[in-house]
């Protein structure tokens, strides 16, 4: 049934009458107070900027209110304007629209801000501590109004959450183009971010938060499962399970929350430390975390028992990861695999809670005495690395999980470098994701059933399974294991109860697989077997969309790892090949200024034109990255691009010749 009141509210955008002030809801998780970095003049500018969204007659009421928000929270969120209706992935038909493409985008935005899904929903933060969808509620309201009224002759432009407006375009153009946090390169320090974000002119969109493509922690469960399984294979474990082995890490937040679930799927004993009690309770109540422990001695007993019995179980430690590492480093217990997923991409503003301070003390000190807080974080990282070094000396396989752990530990002065100045530990991309997945084009393909019906999701799972079964029959040895891992994943996906929020699924797939699966969905929509459009997309943490020297492009060794041409080419290329929306971001994953990443969403509506768009766009979206990786000399990518060229004569990629090292040495010695 169409909810007319809801539709009316969406269509009115920023309300004509001022809504009531809302009481501060302390039952939900809020973003920590952000640093007060603005001068008095800059504070005036921040207020002036915020008031631009409202009629002058309301300025006298709103100015002191926003000034207080800036003082109390370090940002102006415009809490009063948070709508009263429930925000969740509503079925596409509930959204008022002129084009279904725009309604599908609204479905995705609503999912990103669902309190069940988002980390700090009232501050419009989806994950990663500061991964913002919008900077304030006025931007949300205006964007929904634009999407609800736009036609397929228009494109909406959004800059760091601010909807700049609708611009004339054409039906084959993207309906939405997003840029997040793009700044002039010399102004991309962490202090610059704090300032621009406080001024209300820029935001950190993470990867899938600011692109409306977040699908809850499921998105990362699959990648984490694959990473853990392959980590197990690296240390000589069984090829299909980590049974009897311990995986130790930290973080049960937006994405790190996937670690507990993935450990169980991979058959391991997962032990995850989390400092924030509310986060532990949330994951436990969702069924993603099996047990919560607060007593280290009791926890140790449970660990030993679980390992002995080869239980697939996730144990949460409510406390600081540093205390846990130090405790275990002194005990006689083997930790086979370990990592860290605190939000070290954002080290000094709530991403990493240092040992020696309680959660509340840390939240206070980070704004009251940022210099001292920074010093304590550095001490904490040094202690953590010392305990890790102790355990790796006993055989633990430790890897950086793309959260800038090595980078920040290095900056803190921890004992993390080898004699030759390299990091002691690999990143998971260098060791696992890069050579096993990305170089072959396997990446986090995903889809969302906008009907919001679980039956639709079940059918898409079945269709994807059929495609993979066919592919597995003919798969070459280089990619067979990957296809088999993914087949197992999709067969068990429903049983593993992974949906939080929208009816979505993730499936690592290569170019061929992504195209075949998307075509099968489009066909099913055309035949009305699926009841509504399906959105396809991906995490930005992928083959082509992201230039990130400490993560996605960590296994590029031709000196180009600090360039970002690939990510820019990707978003431009996707935009004119059929994407319904594209986005480009500064700073997802490992931190502001450290990465450029982009992504897309494409609405499948059963049309022939959707078939053409998906084929053309996915081909470029994957092969752009494989071509670059192949040019850098990565063997898997050289294999994959040859294969892609043999399948489409229009694809002609420049190939790299390799020079003999002796010849190069000789040439340089002679000079």
Ligand X SMILES: NC(=O)c1ccc[n+]([C@@H]2O[C@H](COP(=O)([O-])OP(=O)(O)OC[C@H]3O[C@@H](n4cnc5c(N)ncnc54)[C@H](O)[C@@H]3O)[C@@H](O)[C@H]2O)c1
To the nearest 10 degrees (0 to 180), the angle between helices 608-631 and 635-647 is: 140
The contact mask relative to ligand X for 543-582 (x = CB under 6 A, - = no) is: ----------------------------------------
Q: What is the C-alpha to C-alpha distance for residues 483 and 487, in angstroms, rounded to an integer?
A: 6
Q: Is residue 352 a contact point for ligand X (CB under 6 A)? A: yes
How many C-beta neighbours within 10 Å does residue 111 have?
A: 29
Looking at 13, 32, 121, 129, which residue binds ligand X (CB under 6 A)?
129
Q: What is the C-alpha to C-alpha distance for residues 374 and 191, in angstroms, rounded to an integer?
A: 13
Q: Is residue 589 a contact point for ligand X (CB under 6 A)? A: yes
Burial of 123 (0-12, 13-18, 19+ CB in 10 A): buried
How many C-beta neighbours within 10 Å does residue 635 have?
A: 12
**Closer residue to ligand X, CB minimum distance, 303 or 322:** 322
**Residue 424 exposure: Cα atoms within 13 Å on the Cβ side:** 19
Find all residues with CB under 8 Å of 244, minimum gap 6, and list them: 269, 307, 310
| Nearest-approach distance from CB 343 to ligand X, in angstroms | 4
Burial of 640 (0-12, 13-18, 19+ CB in 10 A): buried
| Nearest-approach distance from CB 327 to ligand X, in angstroms | 13
| Nearest-approach distance from CB 219 to ligand X, in angstroms | 9
Looking at 180, 202, 256, 548, which residue binds ligand X (CB under 6 A)?
256
What is residue 423's DSSP assignment? Answer: B
Q: Is residue 250 a contact point for ligand X (CB under 6 A)? A: yes
Among 93-101, 181-189, 268-276, 567-575, which window interacts with ligand X (CB under 6 A)? 268-276
Q: Is residue 343 a contact point for ligand X (CB under 6 A)? A: yes
| Nearest-approach distance from CB 589 to ligand X, in angstroms | 4
**Closer residue to ligand X, CB minimum distance, 204 or 620:** 204
Contact 88, 114 (CB under 8 A): yes
**Closer residue to ligand X, CB minimum distance, 396 or 531:** 396
**Closer residue to ligand X, CB minimum distance, 155 or 227:** 227
Among 126-134, 157-165, 418-426, 491-499, which window interacts with ligand X (CB under 6 A)? 126-134
| Nearest-approach distance from CB 102 to ligand X, in angstroms | 28
| Nearest-approach distance from CB 181 to ligand X, in angstroms | 14
Looking at 162, 345, 613, 629, which residue binds ligand X (CB under 6 A)?
345
Q: Is residue 450 a contact point for ligand X (CB under 6 A)? A: no
Looking at 53, 79, 95, 127, which residue binds ligand X (CB under 6 A)?
127
Q: What is the C-alpha to C-alpha distance for residues 569 and 596, in angstroms, rounded to an integer?
A: 11
**Closer residue to ligand X, CB minimum distance, 252 or 269:** 252
Q: List binders of ligand X among 277-316 (CB under 6 A).
A: 279
Looking at 101, 341, 548, 555, which residue binds ligand X (CB under 6 A)?
341
Q: Is residue 188 a contact point for ligand X (CB under 6 A)? A: no
**Closer residue to ligand X, CB minimum distance, 387 or 603:** 387
Looking at 121, 161, 181, 223, which residue binds ligand X (CB under 6 A)?
223
Gyration radius from the chain CA atoms = 24
Burial 605-621 (b: 16+ CB within 10 A, else e): bbeeebbebbbbbbbbb
Q: What is the C-alpha to C-alpha distance for residues 607 and 612, in angstroms, rounded to an integer?
A: 9
| Nearest-approach distance from CB 610 to ligand X, in angstroms | 29
- Please choose, from the candidates 215, 198, 189, the residue with its C-alpha nearest in 3D space to the C-alpha of residue 112: 215
- Nearest residue to ligand X on Cβ basis: 253
Enter the tokens of residue 316. 């949460």
How many C-beta neighbours within 10 Å does residue 479 have?
A: 23
Q: What is the 3-state secondary structure (H, E, C) of 329-370?
A: HCCCCCCCEECCCCCCCCHHHHHCCCCCCCHHHHHHHHHHCH
Q: What is the C-alpha to C-alpha distance for residues 159 and 165, in angstroms, rounded to an integer?
A: 10
| Nearest-approach distance from CB 325 to ligand X, in angstroms | 10
Among 186-194, 271-279, 416-424, 466-474, which window interacts with ligand X (CB under 6 A)? 271-279
Size of the site for ligand X (CB under 6 A): 33
In the chain, the largest separation of any two C-alpha atoms, in whole Å, equals 81
Residue 384, SS3 per DSSP: helix
Q: Is residue 255 a contact point for ligand X (CB under 6 A)? A: yes
Q: Is residue 275 a contact point for ligand X (CB under 6 A)? A: yes
Q: What is the C-alpha to C-alpha distance for residues 496 and 489, in angstroms, rounded to an integer?
A: 9
Enter the tokens of residue 594. 């450290």
Enter the tokens of residue 237. 């474990």
Looking at 12, 98, 276, 392, which residue binds ligand X (CB under 6 A)?
276
Q: What is the C-alpha to C-alpha distance for residues 238 and 229, in angstroms, rounded to an integer?
A: 9
Enter the tokens of residue 215. 């699908």
Q: Is residue 220 a contact point for ligand X (CB under 6 A)? A: yes
**Closer residue to ligand X, CB minimum distance, 154 or 343:** 343
Looking at 144, 273, 306, 436, which residue binds ligand X (CB under 6 A)?
273
Enter the tokens of residue 596. 């450029």
| Nearest-approach distance from CB 212 to ligand X, in angstroms | 16
Looking at 102, 105, 215, 321, which residue binds ligand X (CB under 6 A)?
321
Q: What are phi and psi of 246, to 5 degrees?
A: -105, 130
Q: List binders of ligand X among 392-411 (CB under 6 A).
A: 401-403
Q: Is residue 342 a contact point for ligand X (CB under 6 A)? A: yes
**Closer residue to ligand X, CB minimum distance, 281 or 572:** 281
Q: Is residue 599 a contact point for ligand X (CB under 6 A)? A: no
Q: Quote the distance between the C-alpha of residue 430 and its chain's center.
A: 19
Find all residues with CB under 8 Å of 414, minimum gap 6, and list them: 381, 382, 384, 385, 386
Q: What is the C-alpha to C-alpha distance for residues 330 and 523, in angstroms, rounded to an integer?
A: 59
| Nearest-approach distance from CB 279 to ligand X, in angstroms | 4
Positions that interact with ligand X (CB under 6 A): 119, 127-129, 220, 223, 250-256, 273-276, 279, 320-322, 341-345, 352-353, 401-403, 541, 589
């Amino acid at each position: 049934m169409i909810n007319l009141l809801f539709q009316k509210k969406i269509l009115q955008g920023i309300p004509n009458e001022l809504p009531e002030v809302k009481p501060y809801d302390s039952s939900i998780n809020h973003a920590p107070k952000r640093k007060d970095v603005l001068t008095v003049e800059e504070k005036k500018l921040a207020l002036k900027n915020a008031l631009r969204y409202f009629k002058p007659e309301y300025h006298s009421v709103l100015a002191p209110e926003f000034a207080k928000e800036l003082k109390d929270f370090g940002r102006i969120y415009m809490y009063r304007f948070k709508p009263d209706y429930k925000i969740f992935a509503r079925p596409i038909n509930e959204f008022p629209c002129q084009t279904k493409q725009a309604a599908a985008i609204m479905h995705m935005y609503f999912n990103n801000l669902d309190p069940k899904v988002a980390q700090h929903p009232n501050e419009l933060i989806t994950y990663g501590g500061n991964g913002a969808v919008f900077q304030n509620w006025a931007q949300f309201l205006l964007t929904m109004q634009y999407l609800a009224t736009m036609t397929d002759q228009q494109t909406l432009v959004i800059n760091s959450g601010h909807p700049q407006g609708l611009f004339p375009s054409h039906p084959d153009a993207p309906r939405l183009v997003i840029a997040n946090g793009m700044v002039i390169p010399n102004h991309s320090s962490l202090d610059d971010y704090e300032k621009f974000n406080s001024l209300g002119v820029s935001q950190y969109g993470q990867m899938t938060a600011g692109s409306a493509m977040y699908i809850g922690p499921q998105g990362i469960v699959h990648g984490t499962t694959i990473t853990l399984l392959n980590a197990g294979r690296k240390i000589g474990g069984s090829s299909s399970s980590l049974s009897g082995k311990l995986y130790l890490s930290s973080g049960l937040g937006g994405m790190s929350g996937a670690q507990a679930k993935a450990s169980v799927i991979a058959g391991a004993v997962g032990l995850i430390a989390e400092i924030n009690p509310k986060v532990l309770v949330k994951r436990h109540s969702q069924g993603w975390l099996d047990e919560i422990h607060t007593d280290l001695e009791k926890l140790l007993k449970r660990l030993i028992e679980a390992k002995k019995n080869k239980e697939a179980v996730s144990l949460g430690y409510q406390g600081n990861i540093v205390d846990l590492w130090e405790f275990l480093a002194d005990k006689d217990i083997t930790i086979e695999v370990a990592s860290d997923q605190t939000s070290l991409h954002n080290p000094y503003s709530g991403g990493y809670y240092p040992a020696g301070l309680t959660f509340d003390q840390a939240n206070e000190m980070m704004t009251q005495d940022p210099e001292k807080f920074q010093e304590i974080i550095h001490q904490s990282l040094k202690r953590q690395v010392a305990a890790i070094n102790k355990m790796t000396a006993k055989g633990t396989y430790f890897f950086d999980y793309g959260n800038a752990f090595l980078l920040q530990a290095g900056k803190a002065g921890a004992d993390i470098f080898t004699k030759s100045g390299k990091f002691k530990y690999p990143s998971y991309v260098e060791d696992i994701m890069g050579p096993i997945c990305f170089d072959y084009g396997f990446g986090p393909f995903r889809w969302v059933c906008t009907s919001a019906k679980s039956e639709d999701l079940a059918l898409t799972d079945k269709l994807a399974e059929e495609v993979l079964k066919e592919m597995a029959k003919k798969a070459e040895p280089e990619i067979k294991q990957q296809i088999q891992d993914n087949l197992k994943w999709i067969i068990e996906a429903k049983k593993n109860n992974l949906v939080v929020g929208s009816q979505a699924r993730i499936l690592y797939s290569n170019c061929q697989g992504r195209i075949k699966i998307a075509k099968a969905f489009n066909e099913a929509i055309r035949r009305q077997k699926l009841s509504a459009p399906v959105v396809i997309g991906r995490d930005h943490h992928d083959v082509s969309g992201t230039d990130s020297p400490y993560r996605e492009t960590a296994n590029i060794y031709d000196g180009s790892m600090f360039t970002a041409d690939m990510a820019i080419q990707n978003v431009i290329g996707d935009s004119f090949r059929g994407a319904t929306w594209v986005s480009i971001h500064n700073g997802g994953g490992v931190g502001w200024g450290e990465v450029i990443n982009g992504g897309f969403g494409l609405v499948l509506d059963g049309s022939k034109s959707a078939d053409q768009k998906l084929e053309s766009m996915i081909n470029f979206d994957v092969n752009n990255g494989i071509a670059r990786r192949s040019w850098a000399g990565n063997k898997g990518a050289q294999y994959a691009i040859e294969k892609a060229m043999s399948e489409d004569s229009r694809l002609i990629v420049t190939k790299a010749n390799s020079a003999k090292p002796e010849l190069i040495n000789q040439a340089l010695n002679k000079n």
